[in-house]
Structure 1
Amino acid sequence: MVRAWYLGKIKDDQRLENHRDPEQFIDLKDLYVKSGVEHFEIPVNDYENNDYLQSLRQGMGITYCDEITCSKECMSNYEEKLRIFFEEHLHTDDEIRYVLDGSGYFDVRDANDEWIRIEVTPGDLLIIPAGIYHRFTLDTNNYIKAKRYFVGEPVWTPHNRPADHMECRQEYLEKLQSLVQQ
C-alpha cells in the first residue's frame, strides 16, 4: 500500500526513506490535491482480468503496455540507469506505472516545489501527470517489476529540469493551481 511523505535531505543513499525531521506524512487523499498524482490499489493476483483496471485502461485510452524489471541482475548498466531515473525530469505524457513485484520510490514536486516521496509496492498503480517534475529510485531491496501503460505510441523521453517553457509544464501548473484552490 502506498505511503507518501515530505522528503528530507538525502544524506547518504537515495534508496533510503529519507524522512524530514520530524517526519511529515501525507494523507493519500491529499496527494492528488498537492501534486496531481493519482493512486489506485489493484490486487496483483489476476490483475489482467480485474474489471476496475480494465475500465481504467479503457477510460484513459491506454493502447500499449509493456513490463520492466529493474534490478542488478536484469539491467545492463544498472548503476547508470538508476542515476538517469533519479535525475529530475518531466514527460509530455502521463507516466502510468503498476507495480507487480518489489518496491521503490517516486519523488514528485508539490505546488510549493517541495519533494514528496511516494513509496510503491505490489498492487499500487500511479498516474504521474504530464508536466510534473519527478524522479524514480529503487529502495534498498534493489528490485521492482512494473507494467508501463501508454496512451498512443510509447514515449520515454525525459526532459530534464529546467523545462518550464514546455506546454505540458504550463498545462500541469494550471491544473495544479485549480486543484489547490478547491
Structure 2
Amino acid sequence: MQIWQMEPFPCGDRRLPHHVFPPKHMTPDQLMSKAGVQYFKVDLDDTVAMKKRLSRVKTENKINCTDVFTINESTPDLQDKLEEYYEPVTKEDNVVSMVTDGTCYFDVEPEEDEWIRIQVERGDLIVIPKGLSHRFTITPKNYVQMQRFLTKSKVTDEN
C-alpha cells in the first residue's frame, strides 16, 4: 500500500497518481490518525492467517455479507462505471475492501478539498470509516479484483 496527499483538483486521467508537488507521502499510522482509515496486510497464500484476520475484521465491523467485485477491460460501460465510482460518497457503515488481484485507488477526504490517495494492491485490506467522504478508481492497468465486506444482506454495485 502507498499513501500520499493528492492534488485537490486533479486534471486529466484519474487513473494516474496525481501527487502534489513536491510529493507528500504518508504512513498507515498517519492515515489512521488523519482520516481514521485502518490498514491490514493479509497474506493471501497463508489461508490460516488470512481466515484469522478476516474473522477479526468481520467481527469488529459486524460484517454479514461479502461479494467479489472485478473491474477490467471487458467490464460493460467501463468509462461510465469509472465516472460513477469516482463521485465522492459517504456511507452509513464502514467500507471494508480487500484486493485479491490487481491494483486500485481509494481517495478519502478527511477535510474539505483535501484528498488523500491510497493505492491498494493484492493482500491490502482497508477499512474506511462510516461518514468519511471517499471515491474509487483503477490504475492505468485497468484491472482490480477485490472482496468487499458488507454489513447488509443486500449486495449492491457501489463502493
Per the normalisation by structure 1, the TM-score is 0.79
| Cα distance in 2, alignment partners of residues 69 and 5 from structure 1 | 24
Structure 1 unmatched ranges of 5 or more: 159-182
SS for the counterpart of 2:17 is coil
Aligned to 1:40: 40
- Per mean C-alpha deviation after superposition, the further-off stretch among 61-70 and 44-53 is 44-53
Name the aligned partner's letter for residue 10 of structure 1: P
- Stretches of structure 2 lacking an aligned partner (at least 5 in a row): none
Structure number with higher helix proportion: 1
The 4+ residue runs of structure 1 with deviation greater than 4 A are 46-49, 155-158
Match of 2:60 in 1: 59
Q: CA-atom RMSD, angstroms? A: 1.8
Shift in Å, 1:16: 0.5
Which protein is bigger by CA-based radius of gyration? Answer: 1
- Structure 1 residues 47 and 16, CA gap change in structure 2 (3 angstroms): farther
Q: Which amino acid aligns with 2:55?
A: Q
What residue is the counterpart of 2:51 in the other structure?
Answer: 50
Q: Alpha-carbon deviation of 1:27?
A: 1.6
Deviations 1:103-152 (A, max 9, x none): 01000002454000000000001111111111000001100000010123
The answer to whether residue 6 in structure 2 is matched with residue 7 in structure 1 is yes
Residues 154/35 of structure 1: CA separation in 2 closer, same or farther (3 Å cut) = farther
Q: Tell me, yes or no, if the aligned pair for 1:85 and 1:136 is still in contact at 8 Å.
A: yes
Give, in whole Å, the separation in 1 of the partners of 2:110 and 2:77. Answer: 31
The one-letter code sitting in structure 1 at the alignment partner of 2:3 is A
Displacement of 1:50 after TM fit? 2.6
Alignment correspondent of 1:68: 69
Which SS does the other structure have where 1:65 is aligned? Answer: strand
8 A contact 1:105–1:137 mirrored in 2: yes
2:28–2:38 contact (8 Å) kept in structure 1: no
Shift of 1:52: 2.0
Question: Could you tell me which residue of structure 1 aligns to residue 102 of structure 2?
Answer: 102
Q: Relative to total residues, which structure has the larger strand share, 1 or 2?
A: 2
Number of residue equivalences: 156
Residue 11 of structure 1 deviates from its aligned partner by 2.5
2:136 maps to 1:136: yes
Q: Do the aligned residues in 1 keep the contact of 2:67 with 2:155 (CA within 8 Å)?
A: no
Q: CA deviation at 1:59?
A: 3.1
* Separation (CA, whole Å) in 2 of partners of 1:150 and 1:12: 32
Where does residue 174 of structure 1 map in the other structure? none
Q: TM-score, normalised by structure 2?
A: 0.90
